[in-house]
Chains A and B, each alone.
Chain A
Amino acid sequence: MLIDWTHFTPWSALAGGVLLGLASALFVLLNGRILGVSGIVGGLLRPRAGDTGWRLAFVLGMLVAPGVYWLFAGATAPRIDAGWSAVMAAGLLVGVGTRYGSGCTSGHGVCGLSRLSPRSLVATLAFMGAGFLTVFLVRHVLGCCHTTHGAWT
């Protein structure tokens, strides 16, 4: 296995991870809720009285995060290599899959594993495994390197 030392950022990853853990901790202790983004957003499509405000407040906080980050730390430069059709297909798969699987990286991956939930462990292994396999197929079998940055050349 070859490690990509140029892109490896253990400290910012750890610091960001601690923030994610902190947000999840605050949410369950203050609001009594699981911080699962797909569930929070998905619930907006099934609106019920008294069940919408908290979801919108949370999503609004997420939406302003890049602006706040920019104020203090400047702009980020994400590398989005996937083409438009791949982005659309990926969004559809993520939308359907997270709802059938009752969670995503936050709900199962962070909160579920923190709760030591066997159900979330299975879900996390499944989506991680599928993620590994998909990238392997796209990059190394189909060879359609939709990268312009040479991240793995």
Chain B
Amino acid sequence: MKKILVKSRISEFVVGLVFGLGLIVSGMTDPGKVLGFLDLAGLWDPSLAFVMGGAIAVGLFAFAFAKKRTTSFLGGAMHLPTSRDIDRRLVVGSLVFGAGWGLAGFCPGPAIVSAGAGQPKAIVFVLAMLAGMWLFEIAEGRMRRTPNQQTGAL
């Protein structure tokens, strides 16, 4: 049991590292590049469509395979999302996220990686993001009537 735990921690760390490197190589950690993609009416930089394309091309196979499994390769449970609701929460939340993304050109992953590089504005962004997530927790704590309604997986 202990051995699985150590292997899992190493795996999670390595995955975080590979993901962070992917964000840097792809250009996602450059807000100028992200905004260049989001600026359809200006000089448009289509690069980020290639990022999504490359990621999903690999992901399609992995998730098709993962769906058939009941345990992970390291022996743990599969924690796949169960929620299928397309509700106001999902849409409004995503719209608010997109507005913030378009404002500074940072989404959560690249902001954390850039904070790791010591970028002062990325550090401030991450702190503000944590504050936003904390506000959500407070609001949810008050609203929560039925426990375990959150999948928390995404």
- A residues contacting B by CB (< 8 A) are 1-4, 7-10, 12-39, 41-43, 45-46, 53-54, 57-70, 76-82, 84, 86-120, 122-124, 126-136, 138-140, 147, 149, 151-152
Q: 13 more A-B contacts (CB under 8 A) besides A81-B35, A97-B96?
A: A10-B47, A13-B50, A16-B23, A25-B63, A61-B15, A62-B17, A66-B117, A78-B29, A82-B104, A89-B100, A97-B98, A103-B154, A131-B102
How far in angstroms is the closest Cβ of chain A from B93? Answer: 3
A126–B35 CB distance below 8 A: no
A136–B40 CB distance below 8 A: yes
**Contacting residue for B16 out of A59, A76, A79, A139, CB 8 A:** A59
Q: In the docked arrangement, what's the CA distance between A36 and B20, Å?
A: 13
B94–A130 CB distance below 8 A: yes
B113–A24 CB distance below 8 A: no
A19–B19 CB distance below 8 A: yes
Query: Interface SS of chain B: helix, strand, loop or mixed?
Result: helix
Residue interface mask B1-38, A partner, CB < 8 A = 1: 00001001111111111111111111111111101101
Give every chain A residue within 8 A of B52 (Cβ-Cβ). Answer: 17, 109-110, 113
A13–B91 CB distance below 8 A: no
B58 to chain A: closest residue by CB: A21
A96–B136 CB distance below 8 A: yes
On whether A9 and B124 interact (CB within 8 A), knowing A66-B113, A134-B102, the answer reads no
Give 9 nearest A-B pairs by CB, closest first: A95-B132, A16-B26, A61-B16, A65-B20, A17-B54, A130-B98, A91-B128, A21-B58, A101-B93
How far in angstroms is the closest Cβ of chain A from B32? Answer: 3
Query: Does B83 sit within 8 A of A, measured CB to CB?
Result: yes
Give every chain B residue within 8 A of A16 (Cβ-Cβ). Answer: 22-28, 51, 54
Q: In the docked arrangement, what's the CA distance between A122 and B89, Å?
A: 12
How far in angstroms is the closest Cβ of chain B from A52? Answer: 11
A60 to chain B: closest residue by CB: B13
Q: In the docked arrangement, what's the CA distance between A98 and B138, Å?
A: 15
Give every chain A residue within 8 A of B98 (Cβ-Cβ). Answer: 97, 126-131, 133-134
On whether A81 and B18 interact (CB within 8 A), knowing A25-B59, A102-B83, the answer reads no
Q: In the docked arrangement, what's the CA distance between A100 and B100, Å?
A: 14
A32 to chain B: closest residue by CB: B72
On whether A66 and B24 interact (CB within 8 A), knowing A13-B50, A94-B106, A112-B154, the answer reads yes
How far in angstroms is the closest Cβ of chain A from B81? Answer: 6
Q: In the docked arrangement, what's the CA distance between A9 and B34, Å?
A: 12
How far in angstroms is the closest Cβ of chain A from B65? Answer: 7
Give every chain B residue within 8 A of A41 (Cβ-Cβ). Answer: 108, 112, 129-130, 133
